[in-house]
Amino acid sequence: MSSIVLASASKIRSDILNNAGVRHRCETATIDETIIKNRVRQEDGSVETAATALADAKAENVAARIPQALVIGADQILECEDRWFDKPPDMAAAAETLKALRGRRHRLISAVSVYRDEINVWRHLEIPHLTMRDFSDRFLENYLQEADPDILKSVGAYRMEGTGAQLFSHIDGDYFTILGLPLLALLDFLRKVGVVAE
């Protein structure tokens, strides 16, 4: 049976797999995400292509170091009104991100890719749509004061599994995908290749 490796240091993605009973280890990919994003924007501008390229790059990078393993790479890009958002570096930037998304609908382009021996064996893309409510400045201030610093690890400066749920008026999409990993599709693939029980 192949070992499963998550090409990520993301605790939430690892927790999703653990909670689903998928035994794995984590190895961080060494890639420059900015270079990949910029290259894709110059070539065709597709946010879907960028998210997939990032997931591929992470999985391929780690697969080159761990022969025979099934290596899972995942990435997520937030897009709102043609703007691509990056993870905020600090709470001031988080506030600006949330103000930009407030009262608007945005997309979370979530890609997952699996490599074995530097060959892509599966990839999948899901795109949840989320609408932030038009919350008050006072709510935003309180939210940021009480927020876990881990919101800076989220591209939208929110953590749906926590108080970030209060930011939204409507969500159309899979919960696990919003958290960062299209789990149900991934589990289906892992069953088909025999590493998760049918």
Catalytic annotation, residues: 75
The dihedrals phi and psi of 79, each to the nearest 5 degrees, come to -125, 130
Residue 197 CA to residue 92 CA, distance in Å, equals 46
Residues 6+ apart with CB under 8 A from 44: none
Q: Which two tokens stand for residue 24?
A: 């794995």
According to DSSP, residue 87 is labeled -
Which of 117, 10, 121, 122 is CA-nearest to residue 61? Answer: 117
Question: Cα separation of 141 and 164, whole Å?
Answer: 13
Q: Which helix (H) or strand (E) holds 120?
A: strand 119-126
**CA-to-CA separations, 48 to 11, 42, 70, 158, in angstroms, rounded:** 24, 14, 23, 21
Compute the distance between CA of residue 196 and CA of residue 134 in angstroms, rounded to an integer: 43
